[in-house]
Structure 1
Amino acid sequence: MDNAKFEYLLRLGDSALILSQQLSKWCGKGPALEEDMALTNVALDLLGQTRMWLSYAGELEGRGRDEDKLAFLRDAHEMRCCLITEQPNGNYADTTMRQFYFDTFHYFLMQGLVNSSDPRIAEIAAKSVKEITYHLRRSSDLVVRLGDGTADSHAKIQSAANELWAYTGEMFAYDAVENAMVEQGVAPEAAGLRAAFLDHVARVFEEATLTMLPPDAWMHSGGKQGRHTEHLGYILAEMQFLQRAYPGAEW
């Protein structure tokens, strides 16, 4: 088994999985019916992507763990999601900014993975990028609407931008796993992704009349290596309860 590729697939799948779970909590609670439906659709898109990444990871591992076992039977220290995905939903500005930051990274990552040397990864990325293009367009538009809206909406989205900025650096902090993927031609280099991310965020923030924090600000890290915030444990307790309580249960 290619351990680096297995770990990389977990990172792709786990980030999509946890963010999907977070967004699903807004179902029936959105600020408007259109937004309620849009968030649910984004959550479902991410869940579909999760299944593809984790299914491939399970096949590569060869230990009989499918996407369900990888999603529901791993503890927090075994999860490889980026820390930004496990941050609380908060108010709608918090959720919107978390989504915008992740969507921007996710979009440019998938654009790079479309050219992956691994045909399976390239295929999944090509399918996913169509959905993520919509995700990014939607969250970018919402950031502009909130930032250039009322004084209250501007203050809330600026606060969210500031609070979550320290979680953006981890997405581009490559370690041995991702460096191995770059060397094999599987994944794009971090520098190009980060430059594209910063450029898009800067353009959207300018239109939204928001202030962007310095790119070299201190950043959190550790999620991709299994070191998480306290929030992930609560997310998993809710998400995994049924499978843990009734092992092997099927609908």
Structure 2
Amino acid sequence: MKQLLVFFIFAISPIISLADAPEHWQIGLQDPATPIAQGIIDLHHDIFFFGIVIFFFVFWVIFRALYHFNYKRNPIPEKIIHGTFIEIVWTVTPSLILLIIAIPSFALLYSLDEVVDPAVTVKAIGHQWYWSYEYSDYALSDDQIIAFDSYMIPDDDLELGQLRLLEVDNRMVVPVRTHVRLIITAADVLHSWAVPSLGIKCDAVPGRLNQVPLFIKREGVFYGQCSELCGVNHGFMPIVVEAVSLEDYISWVSTKLEEL
């Protein structure tokens, strides 16, 4: 009975907990925190369903052909060289499946570029090998702006419960349920700002500003990494986004402004 209870707890733990960082032996996707991430996961599940159906159908056709039309069961080969009906079926059916997949994928693709009247703008700059963030909305002057670097915490400095190769000394802080515009660029070489739970993966290109919308639905800490090979320490420039309530965000901004 005790073993059954332990198994049940481990079985439902992925359901009752939110995986905003990679876990050991993880197979599925991380829990979404934005509408975009939810849309990406739903599209993945829909396409995966069609893939499973097609796989088993093709497997059944191959197995049936090998079983019924081998040289022992059918020594005299059939002389069918053309079938108009089957030609139409296997041309129209894949076209309809692709059309069903294309419509939601195009809607999701366009929503990735839609920036809805952002209340907060954050600029993320990729460096070899760390990220820096700027909050230009609260600039007191040209040289007084909320800006900080975000370095990975070395293994020797990690505290109990912190994630190896994923924790940083300064997190990017944003409010929940608020439209945020994220401007991404790089100072030296190509980087990529990617956080799976947020459904964002955007290239950071030197001399170019890319922007993506961000609307986080719940509070939490979300982990990501640079996803563009950018040099020898490419694997040591993680991304940590902390989503807090609007009141806590205002308090954080006030504290940062006092430090200027």
Question: Under a length normalisation based on structure 1, what TM-score does the superposition of the two structures give?
Answer: 0.25
More helix by share: 1
More contact order relative to length (CA 8 Å, sep ≥ 6): 1
More strand by share: 2
